[in-house]
Amino acid sequence: MPGYLFTTDFWRTPMEAHDLIETLRAAKSAHIGWIRRAHSLIEGKQVDKEKIPITPGNCAFGKWYYGDGRKLCDLKTYKEVEQPHIRLHAIYEDIFNLLFSEQKGSILSRLIGRHDKERQERLALAQKHFHELQKMSDIIILKLDALERDIRTLYSPDNRDRWNQVINELNRSV
């Protein structure tokens, strides 16, 4: 590329790689906590619904992914996380609606127990959806593990030396 001087300034230090991995692990931990709270909600435990946001960009993991995590947006493994994360929240929205949407029925149906039966059916369906949610979470965790491996590989001294060699060759041709 005539007229351009290539530099190695873009190359990150091992400390920066460490920081990226630490923030990735913190986001992964936040995701795991979110799943636990969603499960507690289905079990009927008292959970602040605000701590389990429905939309992908509002959970702690999503804030990392669409915030600081964007530093990794050129990596294929980073991109592979988004669709499972969006799907996970869609499943959770279904669960949330099953558990918290207004129950229909007359006062008479509530008195004769139909209301309880409907509630039990909704809970059973929510539990079924949670199994789907857990599978999606497992996929996300696997992809985050792959992303961490990619970061380690990209920031390895061997890769840095190879990039420096390529950049030096490009600069000689300028």
- Residue 125 in any domain: the answer is yes
Domain assignment of residue 45, given as a range = 14-160
- Residue 41 in any domain: the answer is yes
pTM to 2 decimal places: 0.77
Quick check: 74 pLDDT over 90?
no
Quick check: 3 pLDDT over 50?
no
Hey, is 46 helix, strand or coil? coil
- Residue 70 in any domain: the answer is yes
Return the DSSP state at 124: H
pLDDT for residue 2? 41
- Residue 8 in any domain: the answer is no
Hey, is 102 helix, strand or coil? coil
- Residue 87 in any domain: the answer is yes
Alpha-carbon distance of 79 to 65, in angstroms, equals 10
- Residue 2 in any domain: the answer is no
- Mean pLDDT across 49-53: 76
- Residue 50 in any domain: the answer is yes
Alpha-carbon distance of 77 to 74, in angstroms, equals 9
Question: 110 or 168, which is more confident?
Answer: 168
Instruction: Judge residue 81's burial from the number of C-beta atoms within 10 Å of its C-beta, 0-12 exposed, 13-18 middle, 19 or more buried.
Output: buried
Quote the number of domains for the chain. Answer: 1
pLDDT band with cut points at 50, 70 and 90 for residue 7: very low
- Residue 172 in any domain: the answer is no
